[in-house]
Amino acid sequence: MPAARIARKEFDVTNDRHALFAAHAYLPQGWRRDVLLEWNEGGVLTAVSPDTAAPAGVARARGPIAPGMPNLHSHAFQRAMAGLAEYRAQAADNFWSWRDLMYRFAARMTPEALQSIARWLYVEMLKAGYTSVCEFHYLHHAPNGRGYANVAELGQRVVEAASQAGIGMTMLPVLYQYSGFNQRDPRPDQRRFLNTPEALLDLLSTLRRAKPAHGALTYGVAPHSLRAVSEASLRALLDGLDADLPRAPVHIHIAEQTGEVDECVAATGARPVAWLLDRFDVDARWCLVHATHVDAKETAALAASGAVAGLCPTTEANLGDGVFPAHDYLGANGQMGIGSDSHIAVDWRSELRLLEYGQRLVRRQRNVLASDARAQVAERLFDAALAGGARASGRAVGALAVGHRADWLVFDQTHPSLDARSPDTWLAGVVFCEHGGSPIVEVHTGGRCVVRDGRHEDEDQAYAGYREAVARLLA
Ligand code: NGQ
Ligand code: ZN
């Protein structure tokens, strides 16, 4: 049946048995045959049984299934300006001139537009096979810098958008105080972002009261960057967080541009990653986003810390950041995950492919991020991004295993990337081959099908709202 003719009600068919039988499923041990998945009312897997005979009356997956990918870094509002900064605005266009443009766009955002943009973005993420997202949320106040009547208005809109779309969320309200090292005064065009640690913690409490955590929603915080906080305010933020949400995720932008590395060295005598690891108890609850510029010592120390390197290859390429030493970092057993960040691409396959290709171009070799234990580079990257993404999310996601969210993708086994090939080549086909349509035909979150035949249940309405928001913002 043509996709366009699928009626909305067809998505509402509940799987009463809360069970699914898949001829092929990608479990933590790799591809397994004849797998029965069972989950509970709360959307959590209760049994995963390979090599099982298909029980009567249980639905069958229409193709091979694999865990949904966590997206560990997103600024939802930036989706609406993706592709609008691809011209040279001045002689030397760079990250900072892009940022000026992005700030001008952010200044125009309204609560309604933000919700519409986020809702459509999350629909796009689900269609692409991201089943959860960490939202690094720093637009907090009205355009004049004053708080909305509800201080958590904008964060709440984003959380609502996630539940409308049916994507899992880790909401990370951002602490932003300064425009540079040594507590440089913020710029006027940063006024919508600003809070003290106390005000930010207060905003987080307000948000949690309005939208309490549940199986598909959790909270953490994000000090924006070492440029935007001080050592004392970072400590105050973490102490306050621990009083309320011990072990909640902490995400920070760390070393994306060489310019900020140089400024950090000038201000503190140390490079950003070294400075942070030296002064704070950086461990598995931390996600260091764009740890792009790390020297050999920092690479080893970051890997040893258990923190997740949050890599966003398509955005990092788009913004001219540099290349993260992924080969050395993975070689040291470093944890990594991927994010779509500015949403110049919303596709985990592109992120993994570019991550590997960056290494190939720099090292002039092939299959650089494979290892002796994991010769299939796509499988190694897929596993790493699932595990690191889950860790950064602070949610039990990223594996078809008991106790984890029932979030999975269904591949079309007749897609040319899989068809007539054996399972051990499937992920390589999915990640590295680009020919036309996506091989992902269905997506399930919390055991519920939200994408069927490549279409999201809310796609038309979400797009109409997005289109209207963009037309208004650009008018
Ligand atoms: C952000 N985005 O917060 O949206 C940043 C730019 C900054 C990326 N780093 C702003 N990709 O770092 O100051
Ligand atoms: Zn970011």
Q: Which ligand is nearest to the CA of 292?
A: 1
Q: How far is the CA of 322 from the centre of ligand 1 (A)?
A: 15
Question: Mean pLDDT across the stretch 308-335?
Answer: 98
User: Are 121 and 79 within 8 A, CB to CB?
Assistant: yes
Q: Which amino acid type is present at position 370?
A: A
* Residue 38 pLDDT greater than 60, yes or no: yes
From-to residues of CATH 3.20.20.140 in the chain: 69-393
Q: Which ligand is nearest to the CA of 99?
A: 1
Work out whether the CA dihedral 69, 70, 71, 76 comes out positive or negative.
Answer: positive
For residue 93, count CB atoms less than 10 angstroms from its CB and return exposed for 0-12, middle for 13-18, buried for 19 or more.
middle
Residue recorded with tokens 């010592």:
297
Ligand 1, atom 13: closest residue by C-alpha: 99
Q: Which ligand is nearest to the CA of 313?
A: 1
Q: How high does pLDDT run on average in the chain?
A: 96
pLDDT in tens, 255-297: 999 999 999 999 999 999 999 999 999 999 999 999 999 999 9
User: Are 106 and 470 within 8 A, CB to CB?
Assistant: no
**Percent of the chain predicted with pLDDT > 70:** 97
Q: How far is the CA of 48 from the centre of ligand 2 (A)?
A: 35
DSSP string computed for 286-321:
EEEET--S--HHHHHHHHHHTPEEEE-HHHHHHTT-
Q: How far is the CA of 461 from the centre of ligand 1 (A)?
A: 30
From-to residues of CATH 2.30.40.10 in the chain: 8-67+401-461
* Residue 57 pLDDT greater than 90, yes or no: yes
Question: Mean pLDDT across the stretch 1-9?
Answer: 41
Give 16's pLDDT tier (boundaries 50, 70, 90). Answer: confident
**What is the CATH number that goes with domain 8-67+401-461?**
2.30.40.10
The half-sphere exposure of 466 on its side-chain side, counting CA atoms within 13 A, is: 22
pLDDT at res. 17:
86
* Residue 253 Cβ < 6 Å to ligand 1: yes
CA dihedral 162, 167, 168, 171 (to 10 degrees): -30
Work out whether the CA dihedral 250, 251, 255, 257 comes out positive or negative.
Answer: negative
Q: Which of 77, 226, 256, 340 to mutate to test the pocket of ligand 1 (most atoms within 8 A of CB)?
A: 256
* Residue 256 Cβ < 6 Å to ligand 1: yes
pLDDT in tens, 123-160: 999 999 999 999 999 999 999 999 999 999 999 999 99
Q: Which of 73, 75, 176, 292 to mutate to test the pocket of ligand 1 (most atoms within 8 A of CB)?
A: 75
pLDDT at res. 2:
38
The half-sphere exposure of 413 on its side-chain side, counting CA atoms within 13 A, is: 14
DSSP string computed for 14-45:
--TT-EEEEEEEEETTEEEEEEEEEE-TTSBE
pLDDT in tens, 84-120: 999 987 788 999 999 999 999 999 999 999 999 999 9
- Characterize 51-69 residue by residue with b for buried, 16 or more Cβ atoms within 10 angstroms of its Cβ, and e for exposed: eeeeeeebeebbbbbbbbb
Ligand 1, atom 6: closest residue by C-alpha: 99
SS3 200: helix
Q: How far is the CA of 262 from the centre of ligand 1 (A)?
A: 17
Give 14's pLDDT tier (boundaries 50, 70, 90). Answer: low
Give 3's pLDDT tier (boundaries 50, 70, 90). Answer: very low
31 — alpha (psi -120 to 50), left (phi > 0) or beta? beta
pLDDT at res. 236:
98
Question: Mean pLDDT across the stretch 218-228?
Answer: 98
* Residue 75 Cβ < 6 Å to ligand 1: yes
* Residue 315 Cβ < 6 Å to ligand 1: yes
* Residue 9 pLDDT greater than 60, yes or no: no
Contacts of residue 211, defined as CB under 8 A and 6 or more positions apart, other chains included, come to 156, 159, 160, 171, 217
User: Are 141 and 191 within 8 A, CB to CB?
Assistant: yes
* Residue 341 Cβ < 6 Å to ligand 1: yes
SS3 229: coil
User: Whole-angstrom Cα distance, residue 323 to residue 77?
Assistant: 25
Indicate the fold that domain 69-393 takes in CATH: TIM Barrel (3.20.20)
pLDDT in tens, 238-249: 999 999 999 999
* Residue 407 pLDDT greater than 50, yes or no: yes
Q: Which of 73, 99, 314 to mutate to test the pocket of ligand 1 (most atoms within 8 A of CB)?
A: 99
Contacts of residue 349, defined as CB under 8 A and 6 or more positions apart, other chains included, come to 128, 129, 430, 431
pLDDT at res. 6:
43
Six-digit token string for 462: 């979400």
Q: How far is the CA of 456 from the centre of ligand 1 (A)?
A: 29
Residue recorded with tokens 């390979």:
50
Six-digit token string for 208: 């949690």
Catalytic site positions: 290, 341
How large is the angle between the packed helices 197-210 and 231-244, nearest 10 degrees?
Answer: 30
User: Whole-angstrom Cα distance, residue 74 to residue 395?
Assistant: 16
CA dihedral 194, 199, 202, 208 (to 10 degrees): 10
